[in-house]
Amino acid sequence: MRRMRMDIDRRRLLAGTAAVAGSLAIPAVGRAQGAPIRLATLLPLTGAGGPYGPVMGKAVRAVVDEVNGAGGILGRRIELLGEDDQTNPEAGVRAARKLIDVDKVSAIMGTWASAVTTAVAPLCWGSGTFLATVSGADSITALPHQGFLVRTQPNTTLQGRKFGEFALSQGAKSVFFLTPQTPFADSQFNNIRAAMEKAGGKAERLIYDDKKPAYRTEVDQALAGRPDALIFGGYTPDTTVLLKDVFRAGYAGRKIAFGYSVNAKLLEGVPPEVAEGIFTISPSPAEGSNAYRRLVKLIGVESPDPYTTQVYDQINLIILAMALAGETNGTAIRDNIRKVSQAAGGAMVDNALDGLQLIAGKKAVNYDGASGPCDFTDAGDIQDCRFRYEQVKAGRITLVKIA
């Protein structure tokens, strides 16, 4: 990855200058010296996850540049490596092996497909490499990962319930859940149904084949019972096709989808009337948090989708954990990540730069990020988070509420 090294060398020069110039402002952070700290992203850049990987990489790169620009951590700069997992666990394992064995990275971030994460996780805990993932399968945090894995994606129990409750709050008595075959298709539906039935409503579902150019009969089946709301459980490419067919069928009820599937890219790709009025749900920090706005500014993307907000939090947390530990290996990250993500009485921070300053001043920090408070259970799941409810209005994703 000489490109990155060259980049970083140039940045290091700038960083050095900046550190000298800024040494009054940031006395505790010196000029970056010593061997670089190696971190890596393992993202889907080709294959089915391709629409998500590139912008996730952009967010991580932006944070690393920012931190290096301010002098790095522990007097060392960060070298960011990146590999493509090809949305394929076989290729993902080969890439992870290279990152772990040859580059000796301390942490891998951003694995997206659940199969890739499950395949890569044993290599990580076997080698003491930290793994932060956005995958949704509930089974992932049940792996014997010895603490070397955290997941920033809310688990399906939490999300399913929120979908059901939100549909109810919109006055829907019956919902229909359309989803491809994912590791969470079952549990998601069970939680939606539980929420609906608790309030006397009902839920049905259909699992579709996700590579088809049309879903006319699937949509007919979904609409046959005249549901008050449709819930879409897929990803951007298949949800695009479904939404078009739902529009053609003249469905006028409510539509609810994941924030990662009905995202800014989807809106650019469909006629405005197709997506108008859809509600989306994404994990979110509490109202008034700056982290989300900061991320928007940092990467210049107006409505970053949940995977991007999550991977942004992952890199920030890993940087802070290393700074607090005074060490940069995977074990140090594992042992310290909860001390920066959820320290009792710690000062709230929403970005690595502020956190680094506080840590240098021996103050406890509690990171609250763009995807939520990022407090982890022992198993590596997030404890709780708010959800941002947004709605597509006049072709733009508009905030409805955070709750």
Considering CB under 8 A, how many residues would be counted as binding other proteins?
A: 79
Spatial separation of the C-alpha atoms in residues 326 and 329, rounded to whole Å: 10
In whole angstroms, how close is the CB of 345 to other proteins at the nearest point?
38
Three-state SS sequence of 260-286 = CCCCHHHHHHCCHHHHCCCEEEEEECC
Task: Check residue 176 for interaction with other proteins (CB under 8 A).
Answer: no
Does residue 141 interact with other proteins by CB under 8 A?
no
- Residue list 281-310, contact with other proteins (CB under 8 A): none
- Residue 213 in the binding site for other proteins (CB under 8 A): yes
Q: Which of residues 106-135 bind other proteins (CB under 8 A)?
A: 113-116, 118-119, 122, 126
- Would you give the binding string for other proteins spanning residues 14-53, x where CB under 8 A is met? -----------------------------x-xxxx-xx-x
How near is the Cβ of 144 to other proteins at its closest, in Å? 8
Closer to other proteins by Cβ: residue 213 or 345: 213
Could you say which residues in the range 142-161 bind other proteins, by CB under 8 A?
A: 143
User: Does 206 sit near other proteins (CB under 8 A)?
Assistant: yes
Q: Are 131 and 148 in contact (CB under 8 A)?
A: yes
Full DSSP string of 180-238: ES-TTHHHHHHHHHHHHHHTT-EEEEEEE-TT-S--HHHHHHHHHT--SEEEE-S-HHH
Pairing of strands 174-180, 229-232: parallel
Q: How far is the CB of 91 from other proteins (least distance, A)?
A: 7
CA angle 26, 29, 32 (to 5 degrees): 135
Q: With CB under 8 A as the contact rule, which of the stretches 13-21, 64-72, 216-224, 395-403 interacts with other proteins? A: 216-224
Taking the complex as a whole, the smallest distance from the CB of residue 5 to other proteins amounts, in Å, to 9
Site for other proteins in 247-276 (CB under 8 A): 247-250, 265-266, 268-271, 273-274
Question: In degrees to the nearest 10, what's the CA dihedral of 65, 329, 150, 153?
Answer: 10
CA gap 181, 188 in Å, rounded:
11
| Tokens matching residue 248 | 């053609």
